[in-house]
Structure 1
Amino acid sequence: MANDSLGSIITQGNFLRIDNAFVDEVSSSGRNTGFIIISYSVPWQSGVTTVQQLRLNVNNNTAIMNSFRMPIRLSDIRQGMRVDVTFSPSMTRSIPPQSTAFTIVTRQPSRPSANTTTQRVIWIDCNNSQLLAGMPNNISRITRYIVTSSTVILNRNGFPIRLCDLRPGQLVQITHANFQTASIPPQTTAFRIQVR
């Protein structure tokens, strides 16, 4: 993790904010209670930037959302994710300091190089998170897409949906990794799927 890519604390009225913090640890003790430990940048007047940690305590009043501003659970947040947070300026003097989180919003993960194609859905495997798309009667024009927990799947109006909401025959635009296996059909990872 590079220091310069982490956000710093910004004061905004009655709360503090850090954008692009790195999630070091997540502990969930209930549906939406527990804590996260984040890393963030602290620039010094000397020109040196250090990385500090902060424990944000999460309670039922904490708003936890994905990058589409849809509510999610604390247990949906994973170590290594990037988040934008707002929290109380009242902090303990412990190591790391602790504060109460007001909002936690996950960021879209950065993606490796990608290609985009528009194809017809042929087959969906919800249990194994896979999708076949292409031309049904031409094996050389079919691709198997692996759907991960970070794959964004949207309906025609741009609202998030599940893989199992897709149907064979639908036209979809798929943004995927620019590499694929040499298997038949070839496999690649889907980053974004949107119904056209």
Structure 2
Amino acid sequence: MDDLIYNQRFWPDRGNVMRAEDAVIENISMDNRTGFVTISYRDTNDYCMNEQVVVLAVDRDTVIRDAFGNPMSFRDLRQGMTVDAEFSAMMTRSMPPQSRAYRITVVNRMEETHVTEGMVLDVDLNNRFLYTGNPNDIYSQIRFVITDSTVIRDRRGRQIRLRDLRIGDFVRVIHATFMTMSIPPQTTAFEVQVL
């Protein structure tokens, strides 16, 4: 895990804790005894609103609770959930950065979804992006983040890989309602169906 130090058995002083409110779980994975939860959230400062992405290292000392304070386990977390998170201000220099999670509170069990249909304009295998929309209108285009949890299906409903999608395919994408303010806007794809 790069140079991340996350095996402390105590909470550092409160000045070293970062908070993310209404963050969306983008991806969940496990490596040995450490779980990793990728979240995206809006960081608002005086000048603009930026989307931040961070990978939270979740271990046995991480407190996970629902909105009513009931304890939850790492296995209860799902992609698309809305959470509040408290994590260490010490992060790796990787992209996205990684940090130790102290507390995760599930605010909403599942985020609402939207459905978008469009033509595949590009498939970026290196960054795991799928671009759809009208090639002559940048304002109609959307960049979808394809995670390990994204399900991609062909016309017959069989599961396929991102590399199997072709420019010109017409697809239906079930995705998060939250989009970045970039051009084109970016959001997470939960399911991609070739039509």
Q: TM-score interval w.r.t. the shorter chain?
A: 0.3 to 0.5
Higher relative contact order (CA 8 A, sep 6+): 2
Larger radius of gyration: 1
- Could you state the TM-score of these two structures normalised by the residue count of structure 2? 0.46
